[in-house]
Structure 1
Amino acid sequence: MGYSHEIILPNEDLSFKMFLFEGKNGNYVRGKHWHRSIEIFAIFEGSLRFFLNEEEYKMNAGEFLLVNSNEVHSIFSPKPNVTVVIQIPLVVFKKYYTNEQFISFSHEPRVRNQELMKLMHKMYDTYVKKECGYEFRVQSYFYELLYTLVTEYRDTDISPEAVKSYQKLSRLTEITDYIKKNYQKELSLESLAEIFGYSPTYLSKMFQKYAKINYRDYVQNVRLERASKELMETDHMISDIALNHGFANSKAFANAFRKKYGRLPSDFRKEKN
């Protein structure tokens, strides 16, 4: 692969973030999630499989996918790839909201697709080279990207159902943020519902209808993703990793890991070394 840089553009430097996708080495699964930022995945080399609103997108080199704010998505990266991710804070589009704090961009191919892909290449390459004035050049490319998005990719005919889903996921974000901070503890649906003032039945239905995932599966995915990162980045014992991330024991961790990743934690670690 021609790209090897691991970069992140901090917010204090520019008004957006750009970095290489964390699943660049392959054998990677990112479970269902959502966030307020607008996100663009630009595949420079290799391929990725996206699941966006229950629809699968098989993306190859030279293609990009735009993920809207609060749009449920997951990613499967079976093989090495070079994918640049651009995250744009939702507030950047404040003047162009279609509804209150809501804007949506089309996933359908547009005439400017190839031009936008070239533009993202320029943004990344310019930043990596860091020649005199690179910040201004990168920012100029960024504004060109924003202009094209709001003039040619923005959806103006938004259904009430889409707005409602967006609002419900905004409420769920507060809950999932709590889960991510406390996933190592025992997190029953009943206790979480009480904390946030919902009935367990209503909260369960919110996850299933709007996040498209069972509550328990969501918590399990958070634990697995955190555990797999420790598995890759440390030489800690697998039994300790299991306990560190909310699993009852190493057997429970191994069963959940194999179900999601298709291999045991020990085999996964060997493949990474």
Structure 2
Amino acid sequence: MEPYYEEEMPIINGVRYPFHTFISDNKARKVNVDYHWHYYIELLFFIKGKASVSVAGTCYEVTEGDFVIINSREIHSVRTYEGIETRHIVIKFDVDVLYTNMNAVFEAKYIMPFTMSQYKVQNVFRKSELANTELNNIILDINREYLEKRYGFELAVRAKIVTLFLWIIRNWENKGIKFEVGDISKEIGIEKLQVLLDYLDSHYAENISVKKMAQMCSVSYCYFSRFFKKVMKKTFTEYLNYIRIIEAEKLLLTTEQNITEIALNTGFTNSSYFIEQFRRYKGETPKQFKIRALNRA
């Protein structure tokens, strides 16, 4: 199975909206979506039946009333069952939908964890947890607004996505879960930090040094190191290695490459160090991860 990257939102009637929603129904055929990933956020709300949803190597059995969050760059798959009619609403949106202004640091501290793989958030909300909340109606309203496309629907969809997002982070806050990044300095603003993170996404397999990143941000080596650790809650090397591990997960699940090939293709100098780092972040070896994930998919 070849690596599967899903492209950006579809163009509809000549317009590429930053969001897209539809209902997936297996009544006519079994719905099997193989392992893939994308930069946008995807939400699944099951309104009938059941399915097996795998997110970042963890498999969940979901049923009617369950809600699934798939964050940016999380590898995932969806499988339904023959003989069981299953319907679920799919909502996809660019993370930019959550920003009123790309320079708004006060928003970034809540939103960036959904786009950075270092954070492991709650992927599944069960029906029992959603009982007596407004979330179900918000999801149904998003789907209805998008399908009907009444005057001003773009504003309505965006507003409801933001409301849904607010419900999620407040739900986590009530549980004592917080994923805020640290304060972002004036010297390295949100735009420059995003450029840096985008660079790592594209060049993670290369030999990237802290010195080079500091130069890219026009600050000293020491200042950059302190800043990165404060904001990202990891050293630069720890973050880079984790990005490489995330990319290795995709190759483990979507290619026939061996461990050494995957190690070299994701920026590790040898397979031993790759296995050591993979076990550190995932609690198991790459081989164990692949066997477990594919057996449960």
**If the TM-score is normalised by the length of the shorter chain, which range does it land in?**
0.5 to 0.7
Contact 2:244 2:267 in 1 (8 A): yes
Structure 1 residue 83: Cα displacement:
9.0
Contact 1:9 1:19 in 2 (8 A): no
Q: Percent same amino acid at aligned positions?
A: 18
Structure 1 residue 215: Cα displacement:
1.1
Whether 1:90 aligns to 2:96 is yes
Contact 2:181 2:232 in 1 (8 A): no
Residue by residue over 1:2-57, the C-alpha shift from the partner in whole angstroms, topping out at 9 and shown as x without a partner, is xxxx987625334124589xxx999xxx9xxxx9x8x57455478999xxxxxxxx
Residue by residue over 1:36-89, the C-alpha shift from the partner in whole angstroms, topping out at 9 and shown as x without a partner, is x8x57455478999xxxxxxxxxx95457799xxxxx99899x99989553246
What is the aligned residue count?
Answer: 224
2:156 corresponds to which residue?
A: 144
Whether 1:191 aligns to 2:191 is no
Contact 1:19 1:86 in 2 (8 A): yes
Whether 1:203 aligns to 2:203 is no
Distance 2:252 2:206 in 1: 19
After superposition, where does 1:1-273 map in structure 2 within 5 Å?
A: 10-13=9-12, 14-18=16-20, 39=41, 41-42=43-44, 44=46, 62-63=66-67, 84=90, 86-88=92-94, 90=96, 101=104, 104=107, 112-120=134-142, 137=149, 143-148=155-160, 165=184, 168-271=189-292, 272=294
Residue by residue over 1:141-164, the C-alpha shift from the partner in whole angstroms, topping out at 9 and shown as x without a partner, is 66533344678988xxxxxx9996
Structure 1 residue 177: Cα displacement:
1.5
Residue by residue over 1:160-217, the C-alpha shift from the partner in whole angstroms, topping out at 9 and shown as x without a partner, is x999649733321111122222211221212221233111222122222222332111
Q: 1:43 to 1:93 in 2, by over 3 A?
A: same
1:131 corresponds to which residue?
A: none
Structure 1 stretches of 5 or more lacking a match?
1-5, 50-59, 68-72, 127-133, 155-160
Distance 2:10 2:34 in 1: 26
Contact 1:183 1:219 in 2 (8 A): yes
Structure 2 stretches of 5 or more lacking a match?
23-32, 56-62, 81-87, 112-129, 167-179
Contact 2:278 2:286 in 1 (8 A): yes
Contact 1:9 1:17 in 2 (8 A): no
Q: 1:177 to 1:89 in 2, by over 3 A?
A: closer
Q: 1:265 to 1:204 in 2, by over 3 A?
A: same
Contact 2:105 2:190 in 1 (8 A): no
Residue by residue over 1:214-251, the C-alpha shift from the partner in whole angstroms, topping out at 9 and shown as x without a partner, is 21111001111112211211111211111111111111
SS at match of 1:184: coil
The structure with higher relative contact order (CA 8 Å, sep 6+) is 2
Moved more, 164-173 or 80-89: 80-89
Distance 2:68 2:20 in 1: 14
RMSD of the alignment, in Å? Answer: 5.2
Moved more, 11-20 or 249-258: 11-20
Give the TM-score normalised by structure 2. Answer: 0.54
SS at match of 1:253: helix
SS at match of 1:144: helix
Q: 1:143 to 1:48 in 2, by over 3 A?
A: farther
Distance 1:186 1:268 in 2: 26
Distance 1:75 1:16 in 2: 19
Structure 2 counterpart of 1:90, one-letter code: D
